[in-house]
């Protein structure tokens, strides 16, 4: 089934932090080259779908993506795309993400309250698939 980042984000809106993503959601993300980015605690950012990885990001920080993995540092020889994770327990969202990568947002709830403003993006928007002519 074909899904865009916006459609998947709409389906995930108001996701409960304590619930795992279903096998259907994970497969849908992978099949459509989508990446779900969310926080899982005070120190861990999880990437699900076209990138399957976790990053230690205690109370926020900048993360860098390449085609397959997440890094906590930019490398001069690599073209990695940044995502800023922001932690503020007094804000409307304890966690949120800022990036220039085209993305859609969805809300993750914890104890019935807004906890994380998570994102979904298509990996092809930042690392286009090359086709041979």
List own/partner pairs for 16-25 with CB under 8 A and 24 or more apart: 16/108, 16/109, 16/110, 17/108, 17/109, 17/110, 17/115, 17/116, 18/110, 21/48
Question: From CA 118, how far away is CA 133, in angstroms rounded?
Answer: 37
DSSP 104-126: EEEEEEETTEEEEEEEEEEGGGT
| pLDDT tens string 22-51 | 999 999 999 999 999 999 888 899 999 999
> Does the structure show a pLDDT above 90 at 66?
no
Predicted TM-score (pTM) of the model is 0.92
pLDDT value for 96: 96
Question: How confident is residue 109, by pLDDT bands cut at 50, 70 and 90?
Answer: very high
pLDDT above 70 as % of the chain = 97
Q: What does pLDDT average to over the chain?
A: 91
For the segment 77-103, what is each residue's pLDDT rounded down to a tens digit?
Answer: 778 899 999 999 899 999 999 999 999
Distances (CA, A) of 8 to 25, 80, 89, 111, 120: 8, 24, 26, 23, 7
Range 1-10 average pLDDT: 95
């Amino acid at each position: 089934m074909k899904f865009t980042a916006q459609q998947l984000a709409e389906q995930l809106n108001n996701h409960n932090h304590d619930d795992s993503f279903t096998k259907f959601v994970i497969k849908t993300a992978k099949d459509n080259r989508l990446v779900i980015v969310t926080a899982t605690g005070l120190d861990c950012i999880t990437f699900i779908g076209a990138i399957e990885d976790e990053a230690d990001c205690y109370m926020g920080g900048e993360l860098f993506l390449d085609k397959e993995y997440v890094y906590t540092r930019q490398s001069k020889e690599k073209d990695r795309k940044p995502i800023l994770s922001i932690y503020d327990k007094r804000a409307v969202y304890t966690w949120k993400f800022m990036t220039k990568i085209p993305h859609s947002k969805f809300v993750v709830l914890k104890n019935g309250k807004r906890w994380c403003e998570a994102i979904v993006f298509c990996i092809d928007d930042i690392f286009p698939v090359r086709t041979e002519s």
